[in-house]
Amino acid sequence: MRKFCIWWRKLFEKNKDTIEPNDLIVWISFFILGCCVYFMKISNDLSNPDSIWNGVYFKKTSGWEISLGRYMIAILQFVRNYIVNSCFIVFASLILLSMSIIFILKIFDIKTFGWKLVIGALIIISPTVGSTLTYYYCSDLYMLGYFLAVLSVWFMVGKGGRTGIIFSGIALMLSAALYQAYISFAILLCLMYIMKLLIDNKVAKEQIYKSVGTCILGGILGIALYLSSNKIVQIITGIKATEDRGFSRMGMIDTNQIINQIKNCYITFFEYYFSDSMINNNYYGRKYINLLFFIAIVTIIIIILRKQKLLIYRKIFFVLLLLFIPLGFMSICILAPEVSVLDNTGVLMLPTMNYIYVFAVILFESIGEKNSWFTTVGITLFVQLILVFLMLLSLELGGQVYIKHNMLKTYNVAMQIHNRIEQYGVRNKICVIGNMEEGNYPELYPDLKNSQHWVAAGNKTIWPTFEGTQNCWICFIKQYLGKAYTVCSLEEYYEIINTPKYSQMGIFPDKNGVSVINDIVVIKLSDTTW
């Protein structure tokens, strides 16, 4: 024990100057910006369907997280007594995010105060961050995983050696146990760091080799620790990994599909910035803003290759790694190929995507020659990134008002449903059939809805599947109206829709939109069936 204390004291003495006084000012700036951007999520309950289903005030179940391989979420939810306090959780999330940004600036040695603020702003306004903050029951834990992924890379590149590898492996293990997608985030940070070293003539090639080795060893150690610890947790708890989303096969890469997966990485990378398969890039002219940005980053790369006077081997390796950049951004498509990034929660799987903008700043900061064209390129890049920030700010603010609209709309319909159910006395089992937007509560803001495609706000408040619809409505009424009902089973639902009485029902809130069938109160929101 005494030796451990001595070792820990030496480690502290060695790293006590890592955080500088100026970092506190930058951290406070990021935290204040985050509070301003996400103030509506702090002051209001802007939940997504998963958050409503799992609990907006209290969440005691943890089997689902363990089956997904996120056992640290289950442990930390137990530590905080399963309480879900949305205001506190968003504050905690922003504190962790701001700390992550500080360490990212340390990793890439960003000196200019203005560029520090730009990088921080672009990370804060990321669609992944905005969507994560709607998961009130676990968003702070996701942000802790995000921070640990950054810390893992900081140990790899900042400390190095055996100690750095061990600490980075432990941090990466804990990060993956909170959310596996952050493994791809750590991979991207390492890739960007190595590329930064290659274009810096002051860095010896031995240092580059050492950094590459440390990143590889730290990454392998972290993933190995995670997979083994996850298996141990499953054995202890008796909870198996879920089959339908590929988590039971984590760490098993199908070599027969690797070419298709790599191809998918490149396609998905460019689709994110220029198509509508994920973010709606036609809205607000996003694809044109991204096109101008890509022209700017290509210009910076050309300047670096022509003006930096790099040795030929550095240029070759830099270009090769540049070709691998889409793989770094989309490596989750290889690590978890059965979980599609195009799905409803795909935005959470891509915490890397805003880092293409950060990468441009890192490259620009690495340019050695400072003259008139350097100033011109810097101003152009700054203007481009301001446009990107405004583009993403509009996406986030639009999402906040759209979630609030849907929360109020759902509350109104839930109140009507509750009042109608109470007319049938003590019956507690209900079956909600259909989608309110396809019935008598149509979408009122189609443009706003289209702008929120793929991000969390676009999911509204109720999942469209049978199980999702039943549980979201039940949990919404329980948590916001204080009345507990039970859901019908899928078999009971099939019996209901095949009865003559159901075929004669109208659409809620019509008088015959609610009926008792097989001793179950049936609410028909639309003609949609599953």
Last residue of a domain, one of 369, 390, 421: 369
- pLDDT band at residue 18 using 50, 70 and 90 as cut-offs: low
- 205 in a domain, yes or no? yes
The answer to whether residue 181 scores a pLDDT higher than 70 is yes
Q: How many CB atoms neighbour CB 90 within 10 A?
A: 24
Do 103 and 169 reside in the same domain of the chain? yes
Do 292 and 248 reside in the same domain of the chain? yes
Output the pLDDT for position 13: 58
Last residue of a domain, one of 321, 353, 369: 369
Do 347 and 410 reside in the same domain of the chain? no
* Cβ atoms of residues 337 and 276 within 8 Å: no
- 204 in a domain, yes or no? yes
The helix (H) or strand (E) run that includes residue 432 is: strand 429-433
Whether cis (ω within 30° of 0) applies to the bond prior to 446 is: no
Output the pLDDT for position 2: 65
pLDDT tens-digit map of 81-122: 999 999 999 999 999 999 999 999 999 999 999 999 999 999
Q: How far apart are CA 112 and CA 296, in angstroms?
A: 19
pLDDT tens-digit map of 497-522: 999 999 999 999 999 999 999 999 99
Q: Which domain holds residue 361?
A: 24-369
Average pLDDT over residues 33-60: 96
Q: Which two tokens stand for residue 527?
A: 């003609």
pLDDT tens-digit map of 466-495: 999 999 999 999 999 999 999 999 999 999
- 212 in a domain, yes or no? yes
- 10 in a domain, yes or no? no
387, 246, 428, 264: which is closest to 330 by C-alpha? 264
More confident residue, 516 or 160: 516
Do 200 and 345 reside in the same domain of the chain? yes
Do 354 and 408 reside in the same domain of the chain? no
Output the pLDDT for position 22: 83
The answer to whether residue 247 scores a pLDDT higher than 60 is no
Do 168 and 290 reside in the same domain of the chain? yes
**Mean pLDDT, rounded, of the chain:** 92
- pLDDT band at residue 17 using 50, 70 and 90 as cut-offs: low
- 384 in a domain, yes or no? no
pLDDT tens-digit map of 387-424: 999 999 999 999 999 999 999 999 999 999 999 999 88
Do 143 and 234 reside in the same domain of the chain? yes
- 142 in a domain, yes or no? yes
- 8 in a domain, yes or no? no
- For the chain, report the end-to-end CA distance as a whole number of angstroms: 61
Do 322 and 406 reside in the same domain of the chain? no
How many domains would you assign to the chain? Answer: 2
Do 409 and 355 reside in the same domain of the chain? no
Last residue of a domain, one of 327, 351, 369: 369
Q: Say what percent of the chain tops pLDDT 90.
A: 81
Average pLDDT over residues 262-291: 93
Do 177 and 113 reside in the same domain of the chain? yes
pLDDT tens-digit map of 187-200: 999 999 999 999 99
Do 331 and 477 reside in the same domain of the chain? no
488, 520, 527, 521: which is closest to 504 by C-alpha? 527
Do 364 and 308 reside in the same domain of the chain? yes
Q: Which residue type sits at 129?
A: V
